[in-house]
Amino acid sequence: MPDQPAENPSFISRCLGPLLPLGFAGVGVWILMSGRYVYRPGRSGGVLVLLPPDSLFAALFFISLSCVIAAFGFSGPRERWLFWGGLAGCVCALLVEGTRQLLGLAVYG
């Protein structure tokens, strides 16, 4: 069976695919720069504002999530480093922030 020629990637994967990890990384950088993370759960009008250091863990989570998503666009060792490094960052940020929330140590604004 002869080798099949490689298909050109579609417009979505070529041009719009990088926007998803860039968007998550942008949110993480925005949280780092502003120092607060605002969450509005639904239409109830309630607002949750996390202040440092809790917002920094939210920023670490979003930046790590962008690494995990970006890993799907690479191959070889770079894919492994991005995936496992991003996954470790996401898990660490969730564990630390979840523990702070459960123990009542989180800083709200």
**Residues 72-108 pLDDT 10s:** 888 899 999 999 999 999 999 999 999 998 999 988 8
3-state SS class at 67? helix
User: For residue range 16-55, what is the model confidence (pLDDT) as tens digits?
Assistant: 888 999 999 999 999 999 999 888 777 766 778 889 999 9
Which H or E run includes 38? strand 37-39
Whether the model pTM is above 0.95:
no
Show me where the domains of the chain are located: 18-103
Q: Which two tokens stand for residue 56?
A: 């920094």
Structure token pair of residue 9: 């990637």
Q: Which two tokens stand for residue 1?
A: 């069976």
